[in-house]
Chain A
Amino acid sequence: MRLEAVGRRYRARGPWVLRGIDLDVPEGALLRVEGGNGSGKSTLLRLLAGIDVPTTGRITGRPRTAYVPERFAATLPFDAAGYLVHMGRVYGLSGRQAAARTEEWLERFGITGFAGTALDRLSKGTAQKVAVAQALLAEPELLVLDEAWAGLDTAARALLDEAVTERVAAGGTAVYVDHDPRRLAEAAPRRHRVAAGRLTDGHGGADEMARVVIEAEGTGEPPAALPPHSWTAGPAAGAPGLLRIRVPADRSDAALRALLDADPPWHIRAVRPTGGTSPSGAVR
């Protein structure tokens, strides 16, 4: 996905909220957008999610997208499960798939008990979990999170961290804004800063850092020392499961060592570089 000379203002001759934004969002990228209040972070995210269109410039190649807003105070006439199934269908799932994924995500967030509760009677945090679940059940190619962590409890935050890392490891793209500077730092996001309507590469050097994708096969549980990763257990106990991890290049040795030293050891299927700065923004 590409943004070319994108600008946005809300009124003709009004002030520019964003201006001259050129941004390359390659597949498998994790982007963190930073900036002060009212700097245009949310506008940029809305443009990326396709909710808003640029006044000037253009955005091309947007994949299947899901968006999580910061506050989901939904006064919608549905219960939690009903809303999720509807959204699942809107994302293109079949009715049965949508129902199965709804059940799965309600369970992962531990809110199965609220499946039949009307959305407007849910607590703020539980409603936010529903907002996150609707995006994750779609397994989108582009996940746009506007302070999606706000209002979630610790367990749900960790689950969302894990889910985002999983999506990125599986080749999806995620763009997020969050006030916590350490949010997903483990996964080494590219950082961009919005200030005075312009986009600059953020500080911290994480975006210059190349990353490495490691794919491994093994029969045991993944080693506890690994940073967040996506792991598909084998079809039966004892059958090999598949693990994918994306780490900063300088930490790939440690990750490999953890996998190889595990008992039983993991079989490394592939190691390949990704991310880092190159003319196109990433190498895949």
Chain B
Amino acid sequence: MKALLRYQTALLLRSQRWLPPLLLYGVITGIGTQSGQPLLDSLGFSAGAILPVSAWLVRVCATGEPPAARAITQAAAGPGRVQLACTITAFSASLVLGAAGTLAVAAISSPYTDDHTQPVAVGPAVAAGLLALLACALLGTAVGTLCNPPVLRRPGWPIPVTALAALLVLVASGSPANAAVSGLVRGSHTGAVHPPILPLALTAAVCVAATALGCRLAARR
């Protein structure tokens, strides 16, 4: 598995196909957060922004190898393990990206509530922001897995379906990613930090289930 992860990571980094998702993340966070804005609002924004980006990264990893090279890797390591390595690589990349974004946002934001009256504890706020980020990255990875090969193989469908699904789970009330983000934003009104524990548990479960499905279907063509 270590060798597979190493191979997939090298494939992702050298292909430079990580660049468009990185730009998307940079642009969304750049538009949505500005220096001196309330900390928890900005953290919520940068956490939410990672969701479509992580879904895109899953697509990048899932389609990174040409079919012949993929067949060779699958014969060597088993299709399920290859798929798992792709998913873990994409997820790790979105965590690195998101953590960098979250820390940058935390550095430039103002640690006060949105009416600039009450202070917000920076440590707990950043910790909650990172947890929300984790929840969004998990759900984004699940969306990316469910909307791309090997789960969704119909040509032409994966990109629009991934984009729509990522948007939907971000804005739909009841979605754990939405709950994690709005938890932070609500905290920005009151000054109380709510760590998104329940959304995190839910998204982790969804991500594990989606990954398991992807690995199961990886050998299907």
Contact = CB atoms under 8 A, between A and B. Distances in A.
Interface of A: 10, 46, 49-53, 65-78, 82, 86-87, 89-92, 131, 134-135, 138, 144
B66 A76 contact: yes
Interface of B: 3-4, 6-7, 10-11, 14-16, 65-66, 68-69, 71-79, 219-221
A50 B75 contact: yes
Contacts of B76: 65-67, 87, 90-91, 138
A78 B76 CA distance: 18
Contacts of A65: 75-76
Given A50-B75, A70-B68, A74-B69, 14 more contacts: A50-B78, A51-B74, A66-B76, A71-B68, A72-B72, A73-B66, A76-B69, A87-B73, A87-B76, A89-B7, A90-B3, A90-B7, A91-B76, A131-B68
At the interface, is chain B mostly helix, strand, loop or mixed? Answer: helix
A131 B75 contact: no
A72 B219 contact: no
A89 to B, nearest CB: 4
Given A77-B15, A86-B10, A50 B68 contact: no
Contact of A72 (B68, B73, B221): B68
A24 to B, nearest CB: 20
B220 A53 contact: yes
At the interface, is chain A mostly helix, strand, loop or mixed? Answer: loop
Contacts of B4: 90
Nearest to B4: A90
B75 A49 contact: yes
Nearest to A75: B66
Nearest to B81: A90
Contacts of A75: 66
A49 B6 contact: no
Residue of B71, B73, B75, B221 ringed by the most chain A CB atoms within 10 A? B75
Given A10-B221, A73-B66, A89-B3, A131 B10 contact: no
B85 to A, nearest CB: 9
B3 A92 contact: yes
Contacts of A86: 3, 6-7, 10
Given A50-B78, A51-B219, A67 B71 contact: yes
A53 B65 CA distance: 20
A122 B15 CA distance: 17
Given A52-B221, A53-B219, A72-B68, A78 B75 contact: no
A76 B65 contact: yes
B3 A74 contact: no
Contact of A78 (B14, B77, B220): B14
A70 to B, nearest CB: 8
Contacts of B7: 86-87, 89-90
A10 B153 CA distance: 12
A148 B3 CA distance: 25
Given A50-B79, A51-B79, A90-B7, A131 B72 contact: yes
B6 A134 contact: no
B75 A74 contact: no
